Amino acid sequence: MFDTVLGLPVHALVVHAVVILVPLSALGVAAISVVPRWRVPFGPLVLAVTTAGLVMVPVATNSGERLRDRIDAGGVVKEQIEDHVMWGERVLWPTLALWVLAAALVLLARRRRSGRIVTFVAVLAVVAAGASAGAVALAGHLGSTAVWSCTIGSDACTN
């Protein structure tokens, strides 16, 4: 299921959903955290995008493991792939926290709650937004480095 689609690795297809949806979710959650009046009109949309991003993370990691098993990499590239895998596996947890906090903000807004607890949840949501976007950026950079470093003229893989 997570191996190939029409001969292409699933990972190469779904990783782009994570790279777009998780940072977009982080931006949306940060926005509804900072601007409380946006929680009611935009909160459900932000939560939907965050849900889609969260769902795609395990699809990307599982398909990435299948792809890693198919690749015969050695040396520098193998190390780069292992770093990418390590950070890719870490994306799930801040993204899950982002989803939980987004859901809490939406629920609290629907119930017209305010005060310290809402402020605390909003601050945590901004932290989770930064953590999830940062984890995706780092995992994505490491993955693209592993894919492209030997292709575009780097001498890192000539050994």
Q: Please name the amino acid found at residue 125.
A: A
Per-residue model confidence as pLDDT tens digits over 68-85: 887 776 666 678 888 888
**Beta pairing class for 8-9 and 4-5:** antiparallel
Does residue 24 have a pLDDT over 80?
yes
Does residue 35 have a pLDDT over 80?
yes
How distant, in Å, are the alpha carbons of 14, 22, 33, 36, 94 from that of 43? 25, 15, 10, 10, 19
pLDDT of residue 151: 67
pLDDT of residue 49: 98
pLDDT of residue 82: 84
Q: Which of 3, 157, 141 is nearest to 69 (CA)?
A: 3
pLDDT of residue 73: 65
